[in-house]
Amino acid sequence: AQCLAQVMRHERPDVDARRRDLVRLQGEFRLRLHALEKELLRALNASQGSILDDDAVVATLETLKLEAAEVARKAAETDGVMREVDQIAQSFTPLARACSAVYFALDRLAALHPFYQFSLDFFNRIFRDAVERNANLDGIADERLRLRILRRDLFALAFRRAAVSLHHDKQLALLVQLAQIKLRGDEESEDGDAGPSQEAWARLNADLDFVMRDALLAAPSAPADADVATELAATRVAGVAASADARTALAALAQQLPWCRAWVRELGAESGSGADEWAAFAASDEPERCVPSAALLADGDALSGLPAALALRTLIVVRALRPERVLAAAARFASAVFEGAMGDALGARMDDAGLAHIVADEADAATPVALCSVPGHDAAYRVDALAREQQRGVHAVAMGSVEGFALADQAIAAAAKSGAWVLLKNVHLAPTWLGQLEKRLQTLRAHDQFRLFLTTEINPAVPASLLRRARTLVFEPAPGIRANLLESLASIKNTAGPAELARLHFLLAWLHSVAVERLRYAPLGWSSAYEFSDADFACALATVDCWVARAAHGRANIDPARIPWDAIRTLLAESVYGGRIDSDFDHAVLRSFVARWFCADAYGADFDLCDGVRAPEGIAPRDFVRWCEQLPEHEPPTWLGLPPNAETLLLVHKGRELVADVRRLRSLMDDDDGDDDDEGEEPAPNAASAATADADHAELPAFMRQVELLAAGFAAALPAAALPPLSAAPDAADTPLFRVVEREHSVAQTLLAQVRRDLEQLRRVCRGECKQTNHLRQLLADFNAGVVPQSWLVYTVPRGLALSRWIADFVQRLSQTQALAQSALDPQARIDVWLGGLLFPEAFITATRQMAAKQLACSLEELHIALVREPAGVAVSGLKLEGAAWSDSVQLNDGRAEPLDSCYLQWSKDACQDGVVVPVYLNGDRGLLLFQTSVPVGPSTDKQQVVQRAVAITAA
């Protein structure tokens, strides 16, 4: 209502004035009628005897009757005029709804990251600039055209201003969310025959719901779709082998979306009218631009006039068959919705010009500017550069101590009077003082030119209320080896020393750049997000300068062979950078890099930094800078020691994150919509009120009806009966393996009962048959968001695992638990175990170790584990080798995960010394290490490349 009033006041001041006058008149009429009623009551109260005999009372009644009739007549006239005014204002209602939806979309971003805080004042500034200060409206008189411009610019301005406050990889999630809001508004404001038909909008909404909820809807296929799944099991999609994930996605498409069934069945055809188009799609670097139109319009031409719908269907196809291009397809969908208006804003990074504009036009004396950086990156230099450019005085204070608090208070008090700038550095080190700062800003009377800048790491210690008050800007280092090299070399101030020191500085910059850039590929690049920072590079420089100076003894040159390489390598690998690493395998990667680059051979003319990259020639620092400037902005992953398809794996991961983020925001939007409905519906009293219950069910929010269908599908996918009781023969009950199986059986049985109970209660809540509890409300929210309820996570699963995948995985684990229980009854039985499907795989490995120690009559400490391909020991299945293939020996591949068909856990007293030691992780997150094993390496395979590529085995 507030947005509508402001829009009306600006766009139709005449109508707004009439409306305000009418509202005032209606208020006056109501007040006059109330006064007449009171006057009538006073006259009746003052009468003596019979009312009919009192002429004064009768005369008063006649007068009041006439006056009341006149007031009622005028009020009726104003009601009629008000309806006309409201009809005119109705054309502005979609814009007002869009304003409200955009504000709540910004407010919901805190669900993605606690630093994404936006206040109502922030949105009001956007609204005023889009409506009252919009240069695009100059000279435009047509009301409908002005409304379209206002809606377009509102979305564009909201995204541009909010995007600089988000991480780079979260901007697209906001853009897709705004695209959903705009599509909803476009449908509501569509004028009859002027646009797409209602059928086209219905199909678009069905596709959009699938994109937002397909992880929920991808429950086990119905029997009617079993033939589709069977056909896909052995097919080669357009000449490309379909992975298990692709087949699952295609089966879900054929099951849920009618327009997908025909082309999904035709994908495996080696010839036909569309075979060439699908082959081109599979081979294209930009498949989102060449999806066969026959697939997009398989259900007719109703969507041919709706580009956003075609772009959405393109996203659905690309996500199923080419998941590495999901980001590009999502950006293309948003571009179609906004007609290309957002193309230059997506992916934009904050530069000096943008910071100057924000300081001048978007911030004021009461709004601090918070420069938030990822760990290891400091944006304070941008404020210093801007102050020099604008010739403004800036007082910088380093926070983190009591003295800093006092200096900061003094600086703010002085600058608020003089109009100077204050820069408080590292305020995340003073969270308690920040609470006092927020209160002070509320009452601060400052000069108009006063500005307060806060630099902070992205740290949960910063109060959310301060972030909402501030103009928050997120700074991230530019990606790529080239950008990191140039930044590192530019930070080197000390160039004194032997001439050979410049090359050592370059090698340090290369090591630092590789270490930082590999963080983008975690957990493949590094198993954890280590906080490598500029401080590490500065420490490494000081270390190298010290040791070289000691070896040079003041000479202008030094023989590379006399440089203390052992000391430098040890300090870099074990202290400077290695001190941040807590994984032995990541440490091996770092040692491999340090050993390769920090040696006397680095001064040779034919020294290669990596495959295909020859080290630069020259001895002056400027020579190395010029060489770095010639590098491409985006390097191949092989420069970092990673497999060639590491970028593809990264894009697939980011695509999944995007869909998860959009789904989370969509679920919050559904919750907000559901709050508008009746929350306190009475449950159906008994079975006799079935008709009433059905009517109430129809009135429930759409997401609750969807959750009910989902819960019903999941309940049907679970085993029909509980797991059978576990019993054991006398000679098997005391074995370590039986105790492990007993624990697996007990936990699985308990979890199965809980899941069934939760699903049944959830269905009853969705049908309106029982009231919600806190636990059921949380279940509703989790199901709507497609995430696994926390109460179900009794065993470790991959991060971000979708709810439907968890259910399917849980069913498989239950099947294995039942089979394993049968095998454990016989201690001599051969056991084939899906290692990643155990609820507690570490306990199983320990049990096998105990059994081997008993058989070999030795202590547990004497045993060493090995994973072998020959039948010996305990058979395990479901393992995958990431980054290599293993037949007779391990051979590096392009980074694909190769399944290991038959493997065996073998315990022995002798540790294998041949080959390369690789980790065995529970899943692709590489967070839980099960054990490590040595694998044979062929003579043509470089062992150091195996280490640098982070080759590993995963169990699930």
pLDDT in tens, 668-718: 776 555 544 444 444 434 433 334 444 444 456 777 888 888 899 899 999
Please tell me the least confidently modeled range out of 254-258, 630-634, 838-842. 254-258
Please tell me the least confidently modeled range out of 211-225, 537-551, 615-629. 211-225
Distance (Å, rounded) from C-alpha 780 to C-alpha 757?
14
Question: How many separate helices (H) and strands (E) can be counted in the chain?
Answer: 34, 18
pLDDT tops 70 at residue 268: no
Please tell me the least confidently modeled range out of 245-259, 296-310, 527-541, 889-903. 245-259
Distance (Å, rounded) from C-alpha 617 to C-alpha 620?
9
pLDDT tops 90 at residue 61: no
Q: Which amino acid is at 95?
A: L
pLDDT in tens, 154-187: 999 999 999 999 999 899 999 999 998 888 887 7
- Paired with 904 in beta bridges are 868, 875
Q: What 3-state class would DSSP assign to 503?
A: helix
**Interacting residues of 383 by C-beta distance below 8 A, sequence separation 6+:** 355, 371, 394, 421, 423, 453, 455
What pLDDT does residue 693 have?
A: 43
pLDDT tops 50 at residue 12: yes
Please tell me the least confidently modeled range out of 68-77, 523-532, 931-940. 68-77
pLDDT tops 50 at residue 22: yes
Section 98-116 average pLDDT: 91
What pLDDT does residue 824 have?
A: 62
pLDDT tops 60 at residue 233: no
* Alpha-helical runs (H) found in 630-735: 646-675, 690-699, 702-717
pLDDT in tens, 612-670: 899 998 888 899 999 999 999 888 999 999 999 999 989 999 998 998 888 888 877 76
β 929-935/451-457 pair status = unpaired
Higher pLDDT, 339 or 774: 774
pTM (predicted TM-score): 0.83
Section 532-538 average pLDDT: 90
**Interacting residues of 197 by C-beta distance below 8 A, sequence separation 6+:** 302
Distance (Å, rounded) from C-alpha 664 to C-alpha 658?
10
Please count the CA atoms within 13 angstroms of the CA of 922 that sit on its side-chain side: 19
pLDDT tops 80 at residue 212: no
What pLDDT does residue 683 have?
A: 40
What pLDDT does residue 238 have?
A: 47
* Alpha-helical runs (H) found in 196-239: 198-217, 226-233
* Percent of the chain at pLDDT exceeding 90: 40
- Paired with 550 in beta bridges are none
Higher pLDDT, 569 or 184: 569
> Token pair for residue 193?
């025959």
CA 472, distance to chain mean position in Å, is 19
What pLDDT does residue 344 have?
A: 66
Section 407-419 average pLDDT: 91
Are the C-beta atoms of residues 422 and 397 closer than 8 Å to each other?
Answer: yes
Section 262-283 average pLDDT: 74
Q: Which of 270-284, 344-358, 439-453 has the highest mean pLDDT?
A: 439-453
β 916-921/952-954 pair status = parallel
Higher pLDDT, 179 or 279: 179
Distance (Å, rounded) from C-alpha 404 to C-alpha 409?
9
Section 337-364 average pLDDT: 79
* Percent of the chain at pLDDT exceeding 70: 85
Mean per-residue pLDDT over the chain, rounded: 83
What pLDDT does residue 113 have?
A: 92
Q: Which of 200-204, 837-841, 910-914 has the highest mean pLDDT?
A: 837-841
pLDDT tops 90 at residue 255: no
What pLDDT does residue 633 have?
A: 87
pLDDT in tens, 460-480: 889 999 999 999 999 888 888
> Token pair for residue 228?
């589709």
What pLDDT does residue 686 have?
A: 40
> What length does the chain have?
956
pLDDT tops 90 at residue 734: no
pLDDT tops 80 at residue 449: yes
Distance (Å, rounded) from C-alpha 8 to C-alpha 19?
10
What pLDDT does residue 215 have?
A: 45
> Token pair for residue 224?
């009617």
pLDDT tops 80 at residue 18: no
Calculate Rg over the CA atoms of the chain.
35
Higher pLDDT, 590 or 704: 590
Query: Does residue 873 come out as left (phi exceeding 0), alpha (psi in the -120 to 50 range) or beta?
Result: left
pLDDT tops 90 at residue 423: yes
Confidence of residue 133 (pLDDT cuts 50, 70, 90): confident
pLDDT tops 90 at residue 56: no
pLDDT tops 90 at residue 77: no
Distance (Å, rounded) from C-alpha 704 to C-alpha 677?
12
